[in-house]
Structures are given as C-alpha cells and as structure tokens.
Amino acid sequence: MEQQKELLAAVMQAIEIEKETFDFYSAAVQKSSNPAGKRIFRWLAKGEELHYLTMTELYRSLQDGRWVSYGGSLAHLEPEMYGEVEIPLDSDDRKALEIALEIERKALAHFEALEMKSIDPQGKEMFRSIILEEKEHRRVITEKYEIITGTA
C-alpha cells in the first residue's frame, strides 16, 4: 500500500511537471516572433499536452490498481512551409531554449526514476516510451540551441 501511495505521488508530480512545461511552451509560442521558434515551441507544447493527458489517465487508473496502455504520443514536428524564409531564432528564443533544456532534463530524470521504481512490465514500457519522447524533445532543443549559439 505504501508503494502505491509513493507511485501515485510520483505520477501526480509528473502531471504537475507536464502541466507547467505545457504552459511554458505555450507561452513561448506566443512570445516568439519567429516562425521557426513558434513551430518548435508548438511541437513541444503538443508533446507535453499528450504526456499530461496520459499521466492524468494513469493516475486515475492506478487508483483502481490498473495501468494504462500507452503506445507513444510523439507529435510530429511541422515541416517548414514551402517557400518559407527561415529566420534564425533570436535571443529571446535562445533564452527559452535554455530554460527548455533544463525543464526537459528534470522531466527526463523524473520519468527515468519512475521507470526504475515501477515493478509492472506495462508501467515500465509506458515510462520507457515517454523517456524516448522526452529525449527527442531534448535532442531537437539542443540542435536548435547549438545553431543559435554557433556551437553546432
């Protein structure tokens, strides 16, 4: 029973992390004046929204002792529009990407801990899928950050 309480608390924390992350990326979409920045932050927000919904569903199902099935939810990054001039991301986008890297690092650590604590095979698989998605978020953010800073 104690392990169940700990798991529920950890999932609730994951819900809060995903909500805060979604809010941050949604705000970044609004603040960015750059089409490339808007596209990336919109993609990140969609991914976090899907994680939030999954974690919320998981929390409810775990209260009944069940795990939810999760096959992954990686939203696809919108392609550049044909003929769209790609304006390099600016300093505001740079700061947002720096914050995003830290957010993704914390989220990744949290989900890795949940995966390690999970004794249910379906639970482990679900957390592995989310970990892969968070790693993809981090990869894209890192790639864009390195372009802005000239370290690519």
Write out pLDDT tens, residues 70-100: 666 656 656 555 444 454 555 578 888 999 9
pLDDT, position 87: 45
Q: What is the pTM of this model?
A: 0.80
What domains can be seen in the chain, in order of their start residue?
Answer: 2-67+88-149 (1.20.1260.10)
- Asked if residue 74 lies in contact with residue 47, where contact means CB atoms within 8 angstroms, the answer is yes
CB 93 within 8 A of CB 32: yes
User: What does the block give as tokens for 58?
Assistant: 């998981």
Name the nearest CA neighbour of 48 among 12, 77, 78, 24. 24
pLDDT for 35 equals 81
Q: Which contacts (CB < 8 Å, 24+ apart) does range 22-30 have?
A: 22/48, 22/49, 22/52, 24/99, 24/100, 24/103, 25/100, 28/93, 28/96, 28/100
Q: What is the DSSP letter of 75?
A: P
Who wins on pLDDT, 100 or 69?
100
Write out pLDDT tens, residues 100-111. Answer: 999 999 999 999
Q: Decide which of 106 and 120 is more confident.
A: 106
Answer whether residue 135 shows pLDDT above 80. Answer: yes
Q: Phi/psi zone of residue 86: left (φ > 0), alpha (ψ -120 to 50 degrees), beta?
A: beta
**Which pLDDT does position 34 carry in this prediction?**
80
